[in-house]
């Protein structure tokens, strides 16, 4: 099958998308079908992974073995390599250490030197460097809750929002080269309630068992007022690629677990999009959107003779 025409901005530059994630596997569990769609359209996609996931629990019983536990940091890097190849992306490690998910009442202190405790300015600088080198048109990250209250996800939000601003500031971090203005900032909304309600309704309509009913009864009250997604990217045909990338993270994803409790075709029919909240835009937009590059992209034909492909 021929690849679609290269998507470009108004100056003829190929479009570039930067996802900022806390751990390896987050790039596959949040927005992976969107990623695959844009890669297929010729968009350059990079994932900046803040930590190595060294303190992540092994969530797949088949991988819960002493040899895996002893080499978890290296194994998670290998898993990321496989997911990167499946998605067709660039990927960079920011080099910080996983904070782990503290449990207990009261919660124990975070490990010294972990991502959530390192000087925020150091972490922001690492991401500004990536932004100025890659020059993305669009950046995605998590909301102020981190999507869920993991300390690394919350810190990922903090550094992403700060780096989005500082990358374009000529007075900030001059040692990292020319400034770059990212045009749009989005939050992932893969966990929006309406999606899970639709999946449960679709399962019931098929005569199956709903998978999220009990979980929805525990839906955090502070999420009730979050806006409905204003950007819904149609990408159902890339859900198989998403699932393939997820399975590459074998320590984290159980093929028999909750990630696959709803059949693929139900996902594709009941909720065929991945959803985002537009937070900041430096281009004119018309909401609701169905494209992260709305207001930025033009077709290659419109810029014939000016497209620069590196």
The CATH code of the domain that includes 114 is: 3.40.50.10320
At 310, the pLDDT band (50, 70, 90 cuts) reads very low
The two structure tokens encoding residue 97? 């250490």
The pLDDT score that the predictor gives to residue 294 is 96
Annotated binding-site ranges = 23, 26, 153
Residue 306 forms part of a structural domain: no
CA–CA separation, 273 vs 265, rounded Å?
A: 13
Residue 239 forms part of a structural domain: yes
The pLDDT score that the predictor gives to residue 94 is 98
pLDDT at 241 over 80: yes
Residue 207 forms part of a structural domain: no
Q: Which 3-state string (H, E, C) describes the chain? A: CCCCCCCEECCCCECEEEEEECCCCHHHHCCHHHHHHHHHCCCEEEEEEEECCCCCCCCCHHHCCHHHHHCHHHHHHHHHHHHHHHHCCEEEEEEECCCCCCCCCCCCCCCCCCCCCCCHHHHHHHHHHHHHHHCCCEEEECCCCCCCCCHHHHHHHHHHHHHHHHCCCCCCCHHHCCCCCCCEEEEECCCCHHHHHHHHHHHHHCCCCCCCHHHHHCCCHHHCCCCCCCEEEECHHHHHHHHHHHHHCCCCCCCCCHHHCCCHHHHHHHCCEEEEEEEEECCCCCCCECCCCCCCEECHHHHCCCCCCC
The pLDDT score that the predictor gives to residue 298 is 85
Residue 204 forms part of a structural domain: no
Residue 8 forms part of a structural domain: no
Annotated binding-site ranges for Zn(2+) = 23, 26, 153
Residue 211 forms part of a structural domain: no
The proportion of the chain whose per-residue pLDDT surpasses 90, expressed as a percent, equals 77
CA–CA separation, 171 vs 237, rounded Å?
A: 44
What angle do helix axes 239-248 and 32-40 make, rounded to 10 degrees? 120
The proportion of the chain whose per-residue pLDDT surpasses 70, expressed as a percent, equals 92
Residue 206 forms part of a structural domain: no
pLDDT at 299 over 80: no
At 158, the pLDDT band (50, 70, 90 cuts) reads very high
Q: Which of 70 and 161 is assigned the larger pLDDT? A: 161
Residue 42 forms part of a structural domain: yes
Q: Which of 18 and 222 is assigned the larger pLDDT? A: 18
pLDDT at 223 over 70: no
The pLDDT score that the predictor gives to residue 147 is 83
Domain count across the chain: 1
Domain of residue 25, residue span: 14-192+229-301
pLDDT at 214 over 90: no
* pLDDT tens readout for residues 251-269: 999 999 989 999 999 999 9
pLDDT at 97 over 50: yes
The two structure tokens encoding residue 69? 């536990």
CA–CA separation, 58 vs 252, rounded Å?
A: 6
Q: Give 177: exposed, middle or buried? Use CB within 10 Å, 0-12, 13-18, 19+.
A: exposed
pLDDT at 232 over 60: yes
Q: Give 219: exposed, middle or buried? Use CB within 10 Å, 0-12, 13-18, 19+.
A: middle
**Mean pLDDT confidence for 79-96:** 98
Residue whose C-alpha is closest to residue 10's, from 295, 310, 309: 295
CA–CA separation, 59 vs 257, rounded Å?
A: 9
**Mean pLDDT confidence for 133-148:** 94
At 30, the pLDDT band (50, 70, 90 cuts) reads very high
């Amino acid at each position: 099958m021929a690849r679609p025409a290269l998507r470009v901005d108004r100056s003829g530059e190929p479009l570039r998308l930067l996802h900022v994630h806390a751990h390896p596997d987050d790039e596959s569990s949040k927005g992976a079908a969107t990623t695959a769609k844009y890669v297929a359209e010729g968009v350059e996609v990079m994932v900046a992974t803040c930590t190595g996931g060294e303190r992540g629990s092994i969530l797949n019983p088949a991988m819960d073995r002493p040899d895996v536990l002893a080499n978890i940091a290296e194994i998670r890097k290998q898993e990321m390599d496989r997911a990167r190849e499946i998605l067709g992306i660039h990927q960079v490690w920011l080099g910080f250490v996983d904070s782990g998910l503290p449990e207990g009442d009261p919660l124990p202190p975070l490990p010294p030197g972990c991502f959530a405790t390192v000087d925020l300015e150091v972490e922001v600088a690492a991401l500004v460097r990536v932004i100025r080198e890659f020059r993305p048109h669009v950046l995605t990250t998590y909301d102020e809750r981190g999507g869920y209250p993991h300390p690394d996800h919350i810190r990922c939000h903090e550094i992403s929002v700060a780096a989005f601003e500082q990358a374009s500031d000529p007075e900030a971090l001059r040692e990292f080269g020319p400034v770059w203005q990212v045009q749009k900032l989005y939050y992932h909304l893969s966990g929006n309630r309406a999606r899970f309600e639709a999946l449960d309704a679709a399962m019931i309509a098929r005569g199956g068992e709903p998978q999220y009913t009990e979980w929805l009864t525990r839906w955090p009250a502070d999420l009730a007022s979050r806006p409905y997604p204003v950007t819904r990217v149609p990408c159902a045909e890339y859900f198989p690629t998403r699932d393939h990338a997820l399975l590459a993270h074998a320590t984290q994803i159980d093929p028999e677990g909750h990630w696959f409790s709803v059949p693929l075709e139900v996902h594709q029919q009941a909720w065929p999009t991945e959803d985002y909240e537009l937070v900041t835009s430096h281009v004119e937009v018309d909401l609701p959107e169905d494209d992260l590059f709305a207001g930025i992209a033009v077709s290659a034909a419109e810029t014939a003779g000016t497209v620069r492909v590196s």
